[in-house]
A and B are shown apart, each in its own frame.
Chain A
Amino acid sequence: MRGILRIAYKLLVNDGSKFAALLVGITFAVFLMVQMTSLFAGVLNRASATVINVGASMWVMDPGVQTVANSIPMPDYVLDAVRSAEGVKYAVPLYSGNGLVKLADGTYQAVNILGLDDSSLFGRPALVQGSIQDIYAENGFIVVQDSEFHKLENPRIGTEFEINNHRGVMVGIAQVATSGLFGVPTLYTTYSRALQYVPQTNFSISYILVEPKSAAEVAGIKRSVAALGYVALTKDEFMAQISTFYKYQTGLGINLFLMTVMSFVVGLSISGQTFYTFVLENLEKFGALKAIGAKGHELVRMILFQALFTAMTGYGIGVGICSLMIALAKLKVPDYAAMITFTNLALAFFMVLVIAGISSYVGVRKVLRIEPFDIFRG
């Protein structure tokens, strides 16, 4: 470390109380910002759980669909039309709906039911117990072993249950990448069995899962589907649409945005005020350095280094505490929907840099304005 920065470092960290106050401010702000945005990211991720877990490249749906949980059934001819569209490698139906499972004690538990295409089982989950072929067995269902699994009283292979007044049997236990948002267990079965077990409206296809022949065919498939009066979205587009819905049509986004802004303001207030006091207390010393022969840009570098060092240290501690808290929370509450993403970290990093910039700006102005003559005048 260059000498002048080493002096800056020692001036900062040797002033234990001020340094601690600065770190608390930055850490607190980072913790809140990362926590808020992680919660939101977790909610958005879970809201797209079915899209992520099924993993289809393209999804065809009714134009009125806003989230994957609220499908609008389509008639069977749409499936035929999509299959015959130019550029489609294959297209299969997916049923997505809800059912009621009667538990051993007589109570009911709502479940999410996904019906996979009978011939291909496209979108099937990875099994941890059992064989996927058993899904064709009489009344066969596969249960997802996620944070909601216990709500079905931890079924095992062979466990029988009643769903919508039909007999069901657990033939496999699966794991998926993401649990759902609404806190209900998920069951997989075949498309045809799903239609038998769940009361239907006139139309039955929730989504059509499409695999294009190549990425270049996506635009053409979209046009073909649009000509039918329906919408084809890529996986990312569908997830973005779901995110947009939760951000702007549920109040969730604006509330978390406000909380994040408040965290930023709190961090800025604490750090800005403390850093300003720190600079003020050392102002005469900086003036003395100037008189001795330090140049303005050297003093600016010292202050920027101090602000940046504090910001980065606080950022690291804040992210660390937040990660720890989320990990601990997930141990106690498996449903806890928080997910730290690179975007969250980058956002918090940027905001911390802004806090450091604003805090140091005031200090830099003060230091540049101090005249060594003022030191002589006392």
Chain B
Amino acid sequence: MPQAAIKATGLSKWFGEGATRTFAVREVGFEASFGEILYIVGPSGSGKTTLLSVISGILRPNAGSVSIEGTDIWALSDNAIAEFRLKRIGFVFQDFHLFPRLTTAENVAIPLILKKRDWDESIAEAKKYLDIVGLKNRADLPPVKLSGGEQQRVAIARAIVSQPDILIMDEPTASLDGDTGRNIVGFVRNQILNDKRCIVIVTHDARITEFADRILMMEDGRLKSIENGRSHEE
């Protein structure tokens, strides 16, 4: 049986103590495989962002474990987790979080530079990935000169430039209009997903569920259901 890309077991995360303790995530467990797009959906406050943070090595859970390709990430030191994220996980943030004072290529090259790769080599590599997302001719522009959809593509290029196994996307369509959002996620499905990569997307955008393999429904911090996405119906 192939190893799970992500295996979450009994995850709980709460904030506050005693009478003020509030559960954001309560006893959640699931597995995600390589070659699939997993959606985490649910209403605001259902715990999907907290769950995303816990499984991506950003927020330490109070209980449970997260195993990525067999590595229990929360057993690692803080620095080792940061190193693990840098090498194995790519992030696409809701607001892109591109540096407006750097060029598009420099933004994309950041993970390589953090990995201490040579500057020129990193920029050259970044330009290849900009080509993949269709923005080769925008390499020397600052992100503020790009449209929202283009900025999202830059963020995706930055997330995949170091060839991570896991791609985490937080509300990738929230800052985009309907068509652009669909195009972006369709592009991710068709161009970025491969059988060595697992993509986890947090969203409450019902228009893009057609690109999901499976959908985790969250409610009040609990995993309400796991359903197959519409891509399975095709």
Select from chain B the residue with minimum beta-carbon distance to A295.
B82
The distance from the CB of A336 to the nearest CB of chain B, in whole angstroms, is 43
Contact B102–A3 (Cβ < 8 Å): no
Count chain A residues whose beta carbon lies closer than 8 angstroms to a beta carbon of B: 29
Within 8 A of A (CB), among B61-115: 79, 82-87, 89, 91, 93-95, 97, 99, 101-102, 106, 110-111, 113-114
A3-B117, A289-B110 in contact; A15/B101 too (CB < 8 A)?
Answer: yes
Q: Inside 8 A of A376's CB, which chain B residues have their CB?
A: 49, 52-53, 58, 93-94, 170
Given A376-B58, A378-B94 in contact, is the A294-B53 Cβ separation under 8 Å? no
Bound Cα distance from A6 to B120, whole angstroms: 12
B21 in the interface, Cβ–Cβ < 8 Å?
no
A7 contacts which of B52, B56, B82, B106 (Cβ < 8 Å)?
Answer: B106
Number of interface residues of B (CB under 8 A): 35
- In-complex Cβ contact of A293 among B86, B94, B118 (8 A): B86
> Which chain B positions have C-beta within 8 A of A282?
99
**Could you tell me which residues of chain B, from 22 to 57, have a CB within 8 Å of some CB in chain A?**
49-50, 52-53, 56
B59 located at the interface, meaning its Cβ lies under 8 Å from any Cβ of chain A in the complex: yes
Report if A214 contacts B (CB, 8 A).
no
Total A-B residue contacts, Cβ distance less than 8 Å: 87
Using CB atoms, name the residue of chain A closest to B101: A14
* Residues of chain A within 8 A of B116, CB atoms compared: 2-3
Q: Is the CB of A293 within 8 A of B111?
A: yes
Contact B117 A291 (CB under 8 A): no
B-chain residues with CB within 8 Å of residue A15 when the two chains form the complex: 101
Let me know if A373 and B99 touch, CB within 8 A: no
Q: How far is the CB of B172 from chain A (nearest CB, A)?
A: 13
Identify the interface centre among A2, A11, A373, A376: most chain B CB within 10 Å of its CB: A376
Residue A372 lies at the interface, judged by CB distance under 8 Å to chain B: yes
Binding site for A on B (CB under 8 A): 49-50, 52-53, 56, 58-59, 79, 82-87, 89, 91, 93-95, 97, 99, 101-102, 106, 110-111, 113-114, 116-119, 122, 158, 170
A15-B101, A287-B97, A373-B53 given. 7 additional CB < 8 A pairs?
Answer: A6-B119, A7-B106, A284-B95, A289-B114, A293-B87, A294-B82, A377-B49
Q: Which 5 A-B pairs have the closest CB atoms?
A: A293-B86, A3-B113, A288-B97, A14-B101, A293-B85
Q: Return 7 A-B CB contacts under 8 Å, by A number.
A: A3-B118, A3-B122, A7-B110, A292-B114, A371-B58, A376-B52, A377-B49
